[in-house]
Structure 1
Amino acid sequence: MLTDEIVDPAIDTTGRRWQLFQFIGPILGVILVIVTIAMVTLYTYRTMREGAITLSRNLLRSQQRYITEEVSHYLSPATGISFMASNMLTGDDQKQNVATFMTLGRSVLRDMPHVDSFYLADDQGHFWMTSRRDDDYEETTMQMEDGAPYYRHKVTDKDGRFISTDRFSAEGYDPRLRLWYKKAVERESRTPDRRLFWTAPYLHLSTRQFIVTASLAFQALDGHKIVFAINISLNQLTKFVNSLKVGKSGQAVIVDLDGHVIAGHNMADIGKPGFDAANVRLDPKTQPVFVRALDVFRVMGDGSGLVHTRGLNYVTIAAAMPLAKRSWVLLLNAPENDFANFTQVVKHQTLYFSIIIVGLALVLAAGLIYQGRRVENLQKKLGSFATERKEDNIILLKIINTTGLLDPSKEQPYLCEALADRSVARRVSIWRLLSDGNRLLCEDMFDRERNAHRLGMELTKTGHPGLFECLEDGHLIDVPNAEDDPRLQSVQRVVMRMIDTHHLVLLPILEEHHLVGAIMVEDPNQITESERVMTLVASILAVRFGQAQEEDKHTQEASPLPPSVAQQASAPQSRPPMRIIEGFLLRSGEEEHHPNDLPESGLYPSVPIMVLEFSEAYSANHDAARVMLDLVSELTDKIQAIAREHKLFSVQVAGNRFIFLGSCSQTADSEGAANIADAAIGIREACLMTISQTNTRLMFRIGIDVGAVLVARLGQKRDVFNLWGEGLTMAGALAHNVPDGGQIQVSDRAYQVLQGVFLFRLRGEFFLPGSGIANSYILAGKGDIGATDKT
C-alpha cells in the first residue's frame, strides 16, 4: 500500500474542520455583505430608473401619436381626392372629363401646397397632367402632332385663363408602362381600402421635389379604363419632422423597412443640386441608435426599448405607419440622461461607497473562480475525450462488422468514408503498393463534399520519388501545404490540384515493417482526433494488401513467361512509323492545307464553339455494333454537309463527340456564333429524322458556348490543329448535362450574343466545376430578325 493512502486513526480531524470553517466563514460573510449592498443599490437604482424611463416613454409615445396623426393628415388628400376623382371622371365625354380633371387639379394645387401634381391616363395611351409653374399652373396633354407624339404645355392662371403654350417631344413615353399605372390596374378589383396603390418615394426631376405617388384605377361609362394619380411632395414633411423637439437633444426620423429615409434631418439638403434623395439611408456610423431601433422593430414590431451606444443609453420608440404597398416606420430617440440624470448621481454615490468592499470580495472570489475554471475545463476535456472515444468506438464497430473485411478481393468503400467523416477531410484515398514495389495503385478515393468514390489512379516511383521516400520512413507525415514541400509537389500537382486541396496527411501502411500501401488525407480539420481510427484502418489494410501481394507473387511464379516470349520482350523490335490521323471532318480554308493556313497558337478570348455528344453509341454485340456504325457514318455525312453549308470554321471528331468552331479570330464574331447556331438547328433536325427511322437507342445532345480557348499548332511540321480551354469545357459540360436527348443547351455568354436572332427558353441554373453557377438556355429555333427572344 502507498504511504499516502495510510490513515492514522489517532489524528484529530476537528482542527482541520475548524480551519476549513475559518477559511470559508469570512468568504461567506464578505459575499453576504456584497450581496446585501448590491441588492439594496440595485433595487434603489432600478426603481428610480424605471420611473424616469416610464416617464420618458410616455412623453415619447405622446410625441409619436402626434407625429403619426400629422403624417396621416399630410397624406390623407391622396385617398379622398382619388376616390372623388373616380366619381367625377367616369363620363363618356373625354373632353369634359379632361376639363374637369384640370379644374380639380388647379383647385387642389391652390389650397394644398404639399400636393405636387396630378396624372390622368387611359388604356388607349392618352396622358394628361396638371402641376404648378411658379405662381401659375401648367396643364399638359400628350397628343400627336406632325405624325409624332408631343407634350403640349398650356400655362394658365388660377382661374384657368390662358397665358402661354409650348411643346416638347414625347417620343418613347407610354403611361401604360409606368409602375403607377400598371399597379393601379392590378388593384382595381380589390376592396376600396386596398385599391389605392402607393409608389416608393422618388425624386421628381422637373420640380426637384421628393414625392410619393398614389394611383387609383376605375372604368368610365364608355368602357375604357382610367387611372388617376396624385403626387404628394415629402419636402414639407421633412421640414415638419426636423422642427420637432424630442426631449433636450432627441431626434425623430421616418424611414421604410429597408432603412431608406423618408423624412428627417438626413434630408436637410433636399432640393439642392447633386443631392439624391431617393438613395438616402440610415448611416450606421452616425445613427447607430436609429439603426438598432429599426432592427428591433423588424423583429418585435411596435414598441419602446433601450439602446446602448457611444457610452450612453437611449430611449427609443418605433411605430409603424402603414402605407399600402410598403410600411413607413417612425423612429424617435432621446438620451436617457435627458429624463433620468438624477438617477446617475445616486448610482455614482452608491458605487463609491461600495467599491472598497466589492474590491475585497473580488480578490477573495478570484481564487475560487480560478479553481472553478480549472475544474470546469478539466471536466470539459474529459467529456470531449469520452465523446471522441464513443465516436471512435461506433466507427470501429462498423468497420469490424463489415463482411469480408480482410478479403482483398472484396471492395470496402466504407473505410475511406469512415476516415473522411472522422477527420472531417475534403478527400481520403487508399493506395496499394504493387508487387514490383515501384507503383502505387489507388484502391479507393472518396470525395466527402461530392459523396463520390473513384479508383484506378496510379503513381510511379520514377514520377514521384519524393512520395516513396516519405513512405519508406514509415512515419505519419503532416504537410500543411504540399505545394511548398519538394518531396510532395508532384503529388499536389497530379492528385490534389484537381479539387484544389493543399493540406496533406500521409500515413504509410506497413506489414511486418515492410511498406505495402499508404493512406492520404487531404485538407483534414480533425486529424489529431482521427489518429486512433487511422491506425486501426492502416492495420486492416496492411493485412489486406499483404495478402494481395502474396497472391500476385504466387500468380507470377505459377505462370512464368516462356523463354521465347521473354526474349521477344527484351529484344528491340522494329516498329512501323507513327501516323497521326487528324479527326477533322472540316478544316479551315481549302481541301489541301498548308501549315500556314492554320490559326496562330495562342489565346483566343471569344470563340463560338459547339460540342455534339452521342450517347448509347457503344455495343458489345457485333451485329448491333455494325448497325450503330452505319448509322453514325450516315449521320456524319449529313453533319459534314451541314457544316460546309453554314461555312463553319472546322469540325473535329473526338470519340463520341464532334467539336465545331464557328470561327477562330482574336475579335468577337457574332456571325460565326450565328452560323454555329444555324448549324446546330440543322444537325438536330437531321439527326432526329435519321434516328427516328431506325430501331436504335442512339441519342445525341448539343452544347454551345462563346468563350476563351487555347489554340496550338502541334507536331514536327506544326500542321496539327488542336484547342482546349474554358470554352470547350463549358460546351462539353452543357452537352453532357442536357436534360433531354435531342436538345441544344446554350450558355449565358452564347445567349447574350444570339438572343436577338434565335428563340430560347430558360433552363435554369447550371453548375460547372471550377466556374460556379450560371444560367443556361435551351435553343428552340430561329426567330425573325429583330424579334425579342422568349425565355
Structure 2
Amino acid sequence: MRAQEIIDPTGRRRRDLGRRVRRIVLPIAAVALVMAAMAAVGWRSYDIARRSIAKLSNAVLVATQTAIAQEMATYLVPATQGQAIGLDMVQHGALAPSAGTLGANSFQRFAVALMRQDPQVAAFYLANSDGDFELVQRAAEGATDTIVVTDKTPDHARTRTETRTDESGRVTAQPPQPSTYDPRKSPYYRGAMRQPVEGGSASVLPDGSTVYWSAPYLFKPTSQPVITASIGYTDPGDSRDHVLAVNIALDRMSAFLARLKIGEHGHAMILDRAGQIIAAPPLADAHDDPTAWRLDHGITDPRLADDADLVRAFDLFRVQGFGPQSFVLHGVRYISLAARLPGAAPDWVLLLSVPARDFAAFSAADTRSTFVSLLVILLLAAGLAGVLIWQGLRSDRLVAALDARNARGSAEREALHALLSEPHLLDAAVAAPGLTERLAEAAGAARASIWRLVHDGTVLRCDDLYDARSDTHAGGAELQLESEEDFADARAREAGFAVDDAAADPRTRRYWRQVMRAAETRALLAVPVTGADRTAAMLLIENPTRIGETEGLIDMIGGIVALRLHDEAERTPAPTPTPAGALPATHETRTDPLGDNLLLDPGADGAAPTPGLFPSVAIMVLAFGDSGVEDTPSTDQTLHLVDDIASGLQDIARRHGLFSVKVAGHRLVAAAGCTPEPDPQAPIRLALAAIAIRDLCLSRLSAADIDPAFQIGLDVGPTFGAELGREPSVFNLWGETVRVAEAMAQSNPQPGSIQVTEGMYILLRQHFLFRTRGSFYTPRGGVSRAYILAGRQ
C-alpha cells in the first residue's frame, strides 16, 4: 500500500467531532451564562420589589388603621364627651329634676342642642333605680320626641307621656298612656350598673367610672343600627342610682368605611371579638336587624359573599391575635391587619384586608419592563450565538465539501492510476474487470456493467457486470432489444440519460424486468459508448449515488471501453464462408399435426425416428418455477400467455431443426441429433434454440410483468429412444443424458439462464460465450463442471 493511502479515519473523525462540538457548545454555553446572569438579576430585582411591596403594604395598612382610629375618635368622642358634660350638669344641679320629671325642659334642651351639634347622636336617656325614664330622640323631618315614663302621678299609676317638638319649636303633646316599660331591665341600665348582662362590653374612664357599650341593634324610630353607651352615677343629694345613656348611630361609620380607599380592592370592617359586626360597608344601606350581621357565620352568609377575605382574616385573628397577616385565598395573596381601636369599646377590632397585587401594580409594570429588556438581550445573545453557530457549521460544511472534493479528486486519480497501471487495459483479448469496479466505485453504485450492442444493434450482450455489494463479477447475458423504445436515447441520439425508476420508464422497463428486478435496484444511469459511426456499447450503472461529481471519470472509462472495442474490431478477421463445423443456417421444416403433449413431432427435422440407442443426442430441459405463467391476474390472460409462448417455441424448434419438443406439466423437453450416427451440428442447433427460447420467455414474461422464474439445462450424450405403446404410439427418450439435462435445469440458481454440462461446453465453446458455474456430481459420470451459456460469439 502506498504511503498516501495510509489514513487514520478515527483520528480525523475525532478532530471533526471536537471542532463541531466547540462550534456548537461554546456559543450555547455563552448564552446559558447570559441567561443565568439575567436570571440572577431578575431574581434580585424581584426579591427587592417583593420586600418593598411588603414594607409599603404594611405602611399603608398602618396609615389606614390610624386614619380609621382617628375617624372613630372623631365619631365617638363628641358623643361620649356630651354624655360626660350631661353627667356633670346633672350631678351639679344644672339639669335638676322638677315638676315630677327627671330633667324637665333643661334636659330636653340640652339633648336637642347636643344632637344638633353631633349628627351621629340619635338619642339621650335618663333612668333611675325607681324605674323613672326620660328619652329625647330624633324623629322624622327634624323633629324631636321626648318620652317620659314615671309613676310619680297622683294615683301612682305608671304612665307614658310623649311630646313632639318640630323644627319650628311647636310642641305637640299626646295624652298620657299606661306603660309597663321598666328601664331597670334594659341591657344598657344593667350594664351601667355593672350587673350581669349578655353581650356588649365595658370600658373604664380615667376618673374610674365605667362606660357600658351595648351590642348593635336596630333603633326603631329611625330604622338605623345604633349602639348605646351608658354610664351610671349617684347624686350626692339623692340616694337613688342613676344612668345616663346616649345612642350613637352606626350608619355614618359604615358609610365612612365604604368611602375609604384602601388600594384598588381593599376594604375594612369593625367588629367585636365574638364576630358581631359593628360597622362595615354593607351596613351603610342596610335596614335590617344588625345583630344578624356576624362575621363568625363565615361565607355561608350570602350578604358577606364579597368579604371572604375578611372572614379568613378574622379566622387568623382569632388564632394569632392582633397584627399583620398574609394569606392566599382562591389563588390571590392578601395582606390583612387586625388592630385595636383606642377610644372605643375594648373588644372592638378593626380588620383591614387588601390584595397584595394592589400594591404590586407598579412593581409588576417595572418587572414586565425589566423582563422585556432581559428578553430582548437574551434574544440578541441567542441570535448572535445562532449566527456564530451557523457560520461555524457553514465553515465546517465548506471545509467538508472541499475535503470531499479533494477526496473525490484523489479517488479519481487513484482509480485512473489503477486502471492505467493494468498492463493490458486496451487489449480486448484480456478481460478488464477493473473497469466496472472503478465505475461502481466512482458512481457509488450498487452495480455497474458494460453491455455491447451486437447483431446490428438488436441485442445487448453483457461483457462484465460487477456487483459492489457482493464483490462479484458476471457476464455473458444477452438482452433482446425488441422495441424501438429500448434505450432509445442512447441508441439513436447517442445521448446518456438517468432514470429514478427504471420499471416505470419505457426505455428501461425491459432491462429492469430481466436484469435489475432480481438485484432489487431501481435507479439507472445509461452512458453510451460511441464507436466509429454509431453506439457500440453502453455503460449501465444501477442505483448510483454520485453522478454529477464523477462524470469525468465515467466518460474516461467509456473512452477506454471504446478503445477496447476498436482494438477488438481490428483483431477480428474478415468474414469467411461458414466451415463444416460452423453454426448451421436455420431452415423451415414441415408442419405435421401435433400429437398429444408434443409441440413438435419426433422426426420433424427430417430424420425418421428409429428405435434404439442414439450415440449423441443433445437434450434441453426447460423448467418453469412455481410463480411462472400462473401469476397473471386472470385465467384468460394465463391461457393467452401460455399459448403465445407455446407458439413461439414451435416456431423456434422448426427454425432450428430440432428433432422433437415435448411438454410435461411445468417442463419442456427438446432434443436434436436423434440419429444412428453422431450429428456435430445438433448441439449447436439446440444451443441456438435454447438462446432463442430464453429470450422469448424473458420477453413474454416481462411484458406480462411476471418474474422470469424459469431455468434451462443442456446436456449431450447417448440416449435411448423408441415408440412405446400401440396405436397411437408415443416416441419417448430416456437415459442418463435426459436426467443430467433435467438436473442442470433444476440446479440452475439464476432464473432465466442456461446451464450446460462440461461435455456440451466442449462442443460449443468455439461458437458461444460461457462463464464457469462450478462443479457437480453424477453417480455414473462422477465430478464434472457446469457452465452458464451467455450467448453467441
Asked if Structure 1 and Structure 2 have the same fold, meaning a TM-score greater than 0.5 normalized by the shorter chain, the answer is no
TM-score (norm 1): 0.37
